Chains A and B, each alone.
Chain A
């Protein structure tokens, strides 16, 4: 896949923290990656790994306080949005970066009709738009996400629609503004498998047809495999591994990625053969000194416990944060 040209999104050393009574917790620590057109980047991680904070940081929706951007840069087509003020961000959000969320129904205002919310968004971003024109755009957008009967949907309130429908509407609302980049934060976690497939297919089609770069946050390897082109593995606030989906899934280089893939239930295996990661995810209030995964890692050596490995490239489009990645001990 060609990643020619400037990346749409360039994240460098992003650090986001939260102030708590017990001190600052760095939930996202030194995250860097690029996103090009046609890319679907999956950020995968367990709860507490920092993936959602990363997603919200990218659109600057971390509430400050208690949140704080501790450093790094987020360049959207060359502009570092971390330097933008709130007013400027308002034109970045929606118009440049679109985002859909985990809980689709709750992401729509229960007090307004779908029509109102769609048109409100459209007219906000393009004040020259007439109501009729906005309605027209809204209708087309709804049709694109698979609603044949748009009139009924437009007149509905969110509570009258199913979760899957709400997610499609959320998507329509975002896509109608024609963003340069879409972030989907666990868009299918709350949905049944059938609906999940439907949403993923919509995203995949859109990416294929228009080259819209997408970042999808998930904890499900199945989702990664289904639509992502690239994958970024997070653990304990650190990015642990990045690469093309096929590469990472077939030959993971980080022990965590390896263990993660192994622990996914495989219908072809007997239950006794399931391997699992022992121990528990780290507490970010007092993270391990060295590699975040070291306490649970089978192969950890003294160095792993002492210093945090660097984020470095290991070949074409592959990055990893492991002391052992090159020695091959990781395999």
Chain B
């Protein structure tokens, strides 16, 4: 299957998954104790508004009908209105998702770079000192709660040594510039990336160890190829699909971590918005955040699937 047709089919498969996502997000609303209309409009809603919304949602009708109505407006880009801000959720969410994606891109960069380097360093030295150090490092990284690591990084690098700014994604007074963004991004990106670095390294490393134990590696060694070539060419090439796959999965985990780092570093992204929305019991915003993140996650996974597919010679 060509890459394009594969991507096309995967996109088709993503549709039922996304539909399922909407069902879950919709059904989650049923978890909210109390009156849904009140939940959606907020306690300041007037009686007329409540009645109108109840009518619109068809709260007296079956869940299916309600869902279809909800889905229909969703497809038109209407995730609802924020209770706390009285703005369309999309309008609040869009700039935030951009900001989060910037932070995620930075984290993903760290994840992929460190994951790759650490794996290549450790796997060929299986059970040697370098390998043990890398395994130890990933263990520590995997065990650090992101919210705590964020505080620690902030305390030392932001406060004690004043190496990095501690809040926001740009200077409020004099915003702009890629360098400034990078400077703001490094600490939160590292905090966000930490556990994912561990996951990616562990999976990639063990896959690479697997690959290095494959007969074709033994055969390549028997043919006299240098260790260097074997690791950097054959082992890396055969580990790449796993690497791309686990790397793609990190998009989801990073979203999980980003919520915490954004709160700690005051990064104006989806996480911070979600946090505020939780405190505000702003259900439409929570739903919107979750929907968008799921969408990005599904698309990200799709992308990594396509990459994995492209890397698989069996598909040629």
Contacts and interface: CB of A to CB of B under 8 A. Distances in A.
B238 A110 contact: yes
Given A86-B227, A111-B237, 7 more contacts: A61-B221, A90-B225, A92-B224, A93-B223, A101-B222, A108-B219, A109-B237
Contact of A61 (B127, B218, B226, B311): B218
A98 B214 contact: no
Contacts of A93: 221-224
B224 A107 contact: no
A90 B216 contact: no
B234 interface: yes
Contacts of B238: 109-111
Nearest to A183: B222
Interface in B289-316: 311, 313-314, 316
A324 interface: no
Contact of A107 (B218, B233, B313): B218
Nearest to A99: B222
A174 interface: yes
Given A86-B227, A124-B229, A109 B222 contact: no
Nearest to B312: A111
Contacts of B221: 61, 93
A240 to B, nearest CB: 27
- Closest A-B pairs by Cβ, 3 of them: A94-B224, A93-B224, A107-B219
B220 interface: yes
Contact of A101 (B218, B225, B240, B316): B218
Contacts of A103: 215
Nearest to A118: B223
Interface string A85-115: 0110011111101111111001111111100
Interface of B: 127, 214-216, 218-227, 229, 233-234, 237-238, 240, 311, 313-314, 316
Contact of B223 (A86, A87, A106, A177): A177
B254 to A, nearest CB: 28
A94 B218 CA distance: 12
A124 B224 CA distance: 8
Interface of A: 59, 61, 65, 86-87, 90-95, 97-103, 106-113, 120-121, 124-125, 157, 159, 170, 173-174, 177
B238 to A, nearest CB: 5
A108 B216 contact: yes
Contacts, number: 85
Given A109-B237, A110-B314, A112-B237, A125 B224 contact: yes
A157 B227 contact: no
Contacts of B224: 90-95, 121, 124-125, 177
Given A109-B234, A111-B238, A157-B313, A98 B222 contact: yes
9 contacts: A93-B222, A94-B225, A100-B219, A107-B218, A108-B216, A109-B216, A111-B238, A113-B313, A177-B223
Contacts of A173: 223
B222 to A, nearest CB: 4
A125 B222 CA distance: 12
B226 A107 contact: no
Contacts of B219: 99-101, 107-108, 170
Contact of B215 (A92, A95, A101, A113): A101
Nearest to B215: A106
A195 B224 CA distance: 27
Nearest to A112: B237
Contacts of A99: 219, 222-223
A97 B221 CA distance: 11
Nearest to B221: A61
Nearest to B220: A109
Contacts of B313: 110-113, 157, 159
Nearest to B214: A106
Nearest to B235: A109
A121 B223 contact: yes
Given A111-B238, A124-B229, A159-B314, A106 B216 contact: yes
Nearest to B216: A109
Nearest to B224: A94
